[in-house]
Structure 1
Amino acid sequence: MPEPEFNDLLRQEVVQRYGVRPDEVRVVRSPYRICPLGAHIDHQLGPVTAMAIDRAVQVAYAPLPGEVRLSSRDFPGDVAFALRDVPERRDGDWGNFARGAVCALQQRYTLRCGIQGVTAGRLDGGGLSSSAAIGVALLLALEEANGLTVTEQENIALDQQIENDYLGLRNGILDQAAILLSRRDQLTCLDCQTRRHELIPAAAAVGPPAILIAFSGLKKALVGTDYNRRVEECRTAAGVLLQALGRADAAPVLRNVEPDEYAQFRHLLDGPPARRAVHFFSEVERVRRGIECWRRGDLAELGRLVSASGESSIRNYECGCPALIDLYEILIGTEGVYGARFSGAGFRGCCLALMDPAAADQARAEVQRRYRERQPQLADEAFVLVCRSDDGARHLRQ
C-alpha cells in the first residue's frame, strides 16, 4: 500500500479508537537508518557515516491531557499510564519507549499533555535502529502535543537518554543522529566527539547507490549479544593506553587516544581489548577514506571499505552469527554489489549492501535464492528490500 494511503488509515484508526476529531490527528514519520561506515565506534566517540532510508516508523496521535494511551499495529498489548506516575521499565514491553520518552522529557520540561494514538513499523528484526526510530517518533509527538520547540541536537541527547538511562543500553549517538539529521541522496557524516555533522551530496556524475537490505529471518539472537560487555572492553583498552600516556584521568574512550599514540603503546593490550582497539582505529581510517570516496563518486572503492568494515566486525569486534555471516558472504559475492556488512551487531536482523541501482532487482532475487540454499530453516522468514536514502524524522502534512 502506498505510504500516503497507509497514513490515512492510521489517522482513521486513531479517530475510531479514541473518539477524536480528524483535524486533531497528526502523524510523525521516523525513518530507519543504515551506517555504511563507522561500525561499533560511536560509543567510543569515533566518526561515523549514516543515511536514513525510505522505510519508517509512523505514529498517528492526538494530544491527551495528563495521560499516554497507545496501541500498536505490530506489537501486542496496549500502553496506558499517567504522566505523573510513569511505570518502571518492563522487560520485552514495547511500551518502554513511550515511558522512556516521557521520563526523558520530564527531566527538562513540564509535560501537561500526553498522546493517544497508534504506532506502526514492521522492520523490527534488528539492525536498522527500530528502537531509536520509535523513540524519536514519540519524542516528536510529545513535544508537538505540548507546544515545545526542541532542536535536533537536543532530541539526539533525549533519545540517547531513553536508551542509556531507561533501557540500559550503552550505545552512542549514531542511531538518533542518523534518524534526525539525514537528508535524501546525501551522506550524513557525524563526529560523535564534537557532535558536529556534515551532509555531503552524492557526486553528480554517478548519483547515489541503491541500498539493499537483506533480512536473515533471525529475529531473536541465539546467544547473548554482550553489547555492553564489548563497550566495556573498548573502555578497558582506552584505560590501558591512557595510563601509558600519562593521561589516566581522561575519560576512558578510544577517541581520546591519537592513532600514533595507539601505534606506540598497542603492545600493552592483549585479548579482547586488543582486538576491539584494532577495530576502532582501523574503522576510523575507513571512515576517513570512505568520505573521500563518496565526495568524488568512487562507489567501488567505498564499497570495498564497507566490506572491510564487515570483515573487521567479525574478526576484531567479534560479532556475528552463522546466518548473518552467510548473508554477508552472499552479498559481497553478488554482481552489482559495491560492498556489504552487518547492519547492527550481526547477531540477528539484517545486512546492508551499497550497489549499482541498475542491478538491484536482479541482485535481490539472487541473494534470496542463495540464502535459501545456505539457511533453508530461516528462508521463509527472510526477505530482501531495495531502498533509497530519505529525509530524517518529521511531521507529515495532512
Structure 2
Amino acid sequence: MPQLEVSDGGSGRLPSRHFGLGNADGRSTSSEADRDRLSRRLGTSDPGWVISPYRVCPLGAHVDHQGGPVLGTAITAHTLLAFRESRDGNCRIRSEHYPGEVVFDIDKIGSAAQAQRGGGDAWGLYAKGAAALMREISPRPLRGVEACSSGFLPGGGLSSSASITLAYCAALAAVNGVDLDDRQYVDLARRTENEWVGVACGILDPASIVGGLRDHLLSIDTQKVSWVPLAKGAMTPSFRILVAYTGMSRNLGETGFNRRVEECAAAARSIAAHAGLGEVERLGDLPEALVEQVLEQRLGFLEPVLERRARHFHEERLRVRQGIAAWESGDLKTFGTLMNDSCRSSRENFETGSPELIDLHAIMRACDGVYGARFSGAGFAGCAIGLVAEERAEAARQSIEGEFGNQYPALAKDAHCFLVDSDDGLRLG
C-alpha cells in the first residue's frame, strides 16, 4: 500500500468544526455551556477556540519510539481551549482541572532544564515547552496568549498531554500568524514531551491527533513521519470505541516507561553489534529479517529482558499489518483478537499493567459484544480501550463499570467507562 505524505497545509488549514466535549455516551454533543464558562473565565465574549482531540491506538503499542508502524485515531473526547492575544505580552494559562495560573514571558522562558528547576506547576511545562520551541521556528518574536482549557477525562492514557500541547501550539500560531504544517505540529508536541516533560515518547500521539479523520484509522509510518487514512471495510458492522478508566493516573516520567524505551534501544544495539552492523539506536532501524532470525534462533546473546522487548516490537509490527488487512475487510473479530494479543504481549514482553488495569482488561474481554481490548497509552495504570458492537455498547459500558466498581470499591468514585467515536483532528473553531 503506498504511503501518503502528510499535507503541507499550515495552521490556516485547520477546519472550523466543533463536535463537543463528549460525555458518558461520548457522541459529539453540544458544549455551549462549556464555551460560555471558558469565555467568562477568560474575560471575553469572543475568544478564539481550539478543539484538540484525545486519541486511541488499537494496535501498535510501544513501538512508535522504536520507529515501528502504528494505528491510531482521534476521538470525540477532546480538549477545548479558549484563547486571545495577551494584553500585556505575557502568556497566562489556566485550566479547569488544575488550580492557579501559569504566567510567563516567552522571551524569558530559558531552557527546559531551567524551567524544570524553577519549580511551579508541572502542568505549565507543556505550555512553556510549546512556546519555547515555537520561538525557535517563528520568523518573528511571538506575542503571548491568554488561554483557558477544559477537557473530558484529563489524564489516564488517552494522550491528554499531547492534546493540550497541540492546543497551545495552535493558539500561539493563530495569534501570531505563524503558518505551521502538520509535521511541525507533530514535532513540536513530541519535543515538548521529550525535552520539557522528560517522557521518551514517539510521534503516535500527536500524529493521531493532528491527522485524525472521522470513520478512519491512521496508518502511521513513524520512520518517515507520514500517515495514510484507512477507510473501514464496506461490510464493517457498526461499532463504538469503549474507554474504561481505572480512576488511577501516573506521571509517565515517574513510571518505568523511559527505562523500557532505553531497554529497546539496548536490544537494538546488542543485535547490531552481534551482526557486525554500525551504530543503531532503534529496533526499527534494524533489518526485519535479522530481528526475526535472532528471536527464532534464540542465540543467547540477548539478555532475557532485552529479548522480551525485541520480541514485543517485532510481533507488534506484524500485528499492525494484520490489523490493517482486517480493518479494510471489515473483520472486527480478527481485529479484536489482534488487540487482545497486543495486550498480552504488552503485559508479558513489555511488562506493563497494574493489578487494577489487568483486571479491568479481563472484565472488558469477557463482556458480551466486545470484539477485543488492550491497555491504552503507556499501560501502567489509567485506561483500557476496546471495540464493541453498537447494539451492545451501552449494556457493555454499564456492565464493565459496575463489575470493576464491585471489585475495587475504593476506586469506584473515580473509575468510569464511556463510549466515543473516531473524530476529525486538531482544528480551530
TM-score, length-normalised on structure 2? 0.87
CA contact (8 A) 1:242 1:252 kept: no
Q: Describe the superposition over 1:159-180 as per-residue Cα deviations: whole angstroms up to 9, x where unpaired.
A: 1111111111111000000010
CA apart distance, 1:72: 1.2
- Equivalent residues in 2 for 1:242-257, closer than 5 Å: 242-249=272-279, 251-257=280-286
Q: Counterpart of 1:107 in structure 2: which amino acid?
A: E
Residue 49 of structure 2 corresponds to residue 27 of structure 1:
yes
CA apart distance, 1:244: 1.9
- Equivalent residues in 2 for 1:97-176, closer than 5 Å: 97-109=126-138, 110-176=140-206
Q: 1:208 to 1:164 in 2, by over 3 A?
A: farther
CA distance in 2, matches of 1:128, 1:299: 22
Q: Counterpart of 2:173 in structure 1: which amino acid?
A: E
CA contact (8 A) 1:125 1:218 kept: no
Q: 1:52 to 1:293 in 2, by over 3 A?
A: same
Residue 216 (structure 1) aligned to one of 246, 267, 279: 246
CA contact (8 A) 2:135 2:142 kept: no
CA distance in 2, matches of 1:117, 1:392: 20
Q: Counterpart of 2:150 in structure 1: which amino acid?
A: A
CA apart distance, 1:43: 0.2
Structure 1: 4+ residue segments shifted above 3 A: 1-4, 220-224
Residue 3 (structure 1) aligned to one of 30, 34, 50: 30
1:288 counterpart residue number: 321
Q: CA RMSD in A?
A: 1.8
CA distance in 2, matches of 1:350, 1:213: 7
Instruction: Name the SS for the 1:339 alignment partner.
Output: strand
Q: What residue ranges of structure 1 are gaps of 5+ in the alignment? A: none
CA distance in 2, matches of 1:197, 1:66: 37
Q: Counterpart of 1:264 in structure 2: which amino acid?
A: Q
2:6 counterpart residue number: none
CA apart distance, 1:12: 2.7
Residue 331 of structure 2 corresponds to residue 298 of structure 1:
yes
Q: Counterpart of 2:214 in structure 1: which amino acid?
A: R
CA distance in 2, matches of 1:46, 1:32: 21
Q: How many residues align?
A: 390
CA distance in 2, matches of 1:188, 1:153: 15
Q: Describe the superposition over 1:81-101 as per-residue Cα deviations: whole angstroms up to 9, x where unpaired.
A: 112111613475211111011
CA distance in 2, matches of 1:221, 1:159: 17
115-124 or 84-93, which deviates more: 84-93
Residue 40 of structure 2 corresponds to residue 13 of structure 1:
yes
CA apart distance, 1:5: 0.7
Instruction: Name the SS for the 2:107 alignment partner.
Output: coil
Q: Counterpart of 1:215 in structure 2: which amino acid?
A: Y
- Equivalent residues in 2 for 1:300-379, closer than 5 Å: 300-379=333-412
CA apart distance, 1:206: 2.0
CA apart distance, 1:248: 2.4
Q: 1:262 to 1:215 in 2, by over 3 A?
A: same
Q: What residue ranges of structure 2 are gaps of 5+ in the alignment? A: 1-22, 24-28
2:104 counterpart residue number: 81
CA distance in 2, matches of 1:200, 1:260: 27
Q: 1:373 to 1:174 in 2, by over 3 A?
A: same
CA apart distance, 1:13: 1.6
Instruction: Name the SS for the 1:3 alignment partner.
Output: coil
Q: Describe the superposition over 1:110-143 as per-residue Cα deviations: whole angstroms up to 9, x where unpaired.
A: 3331111211114123200010000000000000
CA apart distance, 1:10: 4.1
Q: 1:157 to 1:125 in 2, by over 3 A?
A: closer
